[in-house]
């Protein structure tokens, strides 16, 4: 360890950041958030399911979703007098037979979508009951969901007014019984959902979008 922080491995093992893609290539010159799938075209199909496929490349096996990529969003309320200003979903997860507090999620179900934010607008209304415009949606980049999947999840923060919520119109079976949870900043660290945590973290990193924990 040195004065600059913890060094993982020897200095000779450190790679120059130019070796990595540290910036998204999904933002077009006109500001649109494009969907560009990065699934490996050279992979071999092993097993085809209705919603999930098993593939391999060079004896490395991984799964691929039907729609490959997805997006997630967290609501950020402008109501500064309210400490609970981070809006999350409360969903039952059949794979673990457990309900957790998490980011709102959905698939990118159209490969040729003009702007991913258009899908976000629809899902914000369906899943949370808020009507928002593109200017209220902030793109926070994408994350690889798992090293055993080809799925990237695009992350968004959505600004809302808690007092302007309307009835949601979600129709997906397992989401019909989902709920909402308004969280404080302090509660985020204890969540079991990395998507929500990363969205809040990235939102905080952007100084122009800092959240007031409480009004002084």
| pLDDT score of 87 | 96
Strand runs labelled E in 145-211: 152-160, 179-183
Report which of residues 212 and 28 the model is more confident about.
28
> What mean pLDDT is reported for the chain?
84
pLDDT tens-place string over residues 91-117: 888 888 998 999 999 999 876 688 999
| pLDDT score of 30 | 83
Report which of residues 208 and 192 the model is more confident about.
192
Is residue 102 a contact partner of residue 95, using CB atoms and an 8 Å limit?
A: no
Q: Is 83 exposed, middle or buried (0-12, 13-18, 19+ CB in 10 A)?
A: middle
| pLDDT score of 86 | 95
Most confident of 96-110, 165-179, 183-197: 183-197
pLDDT tens-place string over residues 138-160: 999 999 999 999 899 999 999 99
pLDDT tens-place string over residues 75-88: 999 998 899 999 99
Model confidence at 70: pLDDT above 60: yes
Q: Is 44 exposed, middle or buried (0-12, 13-18, 19+ CB in 10 A)?
A: exposed
Instruction: Look at residue 151 and give its three-state secondary structure.
Output: coil
Cα angle 211-212-216, degrees, rounded to a multiple of 5: 170
Under the banding of pLDDT at 50, 70 and 90, the label for residue 26 is confident
| pLDDT score of 1 | 44
Domains of the chain: 11-37+67-209 (3.90.79.10)
The pTM of this model reads 0.83
Name the strand (E) or helix (H) holding 73.
strand 70-77
Please give the average per-residue pLDDT across 163-185, as a whole number.
78
Q: Considering Cα of 150, then 73, then 107, then 47, what sign does the dihedral take?
A: positive
């Amino acid at each position: 360890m040195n004065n600059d922080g913890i060094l993982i491995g020897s200095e000779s093992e450190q790679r120059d950041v130019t070796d990595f893609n540290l910036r998204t290539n999904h933002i077009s010159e006109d500001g649109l958030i494009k969907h560009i799938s990065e699934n490996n075209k050279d992979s071999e199909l092993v097993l085809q399911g209705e919603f999930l496929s098993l593939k391999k490349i060079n004896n490395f096996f991984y799964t691929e979703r039907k729609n490959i990529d997805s997006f997630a969003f967290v609501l950020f309320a402008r109501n500064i007098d309210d400490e609970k200003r981070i809006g999350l979903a409360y969903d039952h997860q059949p794979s673990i037979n457990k309900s957790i507090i998490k980011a709102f999620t959905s698939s990118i179900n159209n490969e040729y979508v003009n702007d991913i934010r258009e899908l976000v607008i629809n899902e914000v209304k369906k899943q949370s009951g808020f009507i928002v415009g593109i200017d209220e949606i902030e793109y926070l980049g994408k994350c690889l969901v798992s090293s055993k999947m080809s799925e990237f999840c695009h992350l968004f923060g959505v600004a809302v007014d808690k007092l302007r919520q309307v009835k949601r119109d979600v129709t997906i079976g397992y989401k019909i019984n989902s709920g909402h949870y308004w969280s404080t900043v302090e509660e985020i660290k204890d969540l079991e959902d990395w998507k929500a945590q990363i969205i809040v973290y990235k939102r905080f990193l952007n100084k122009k979008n800092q959240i007031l924990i409480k009004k002084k």
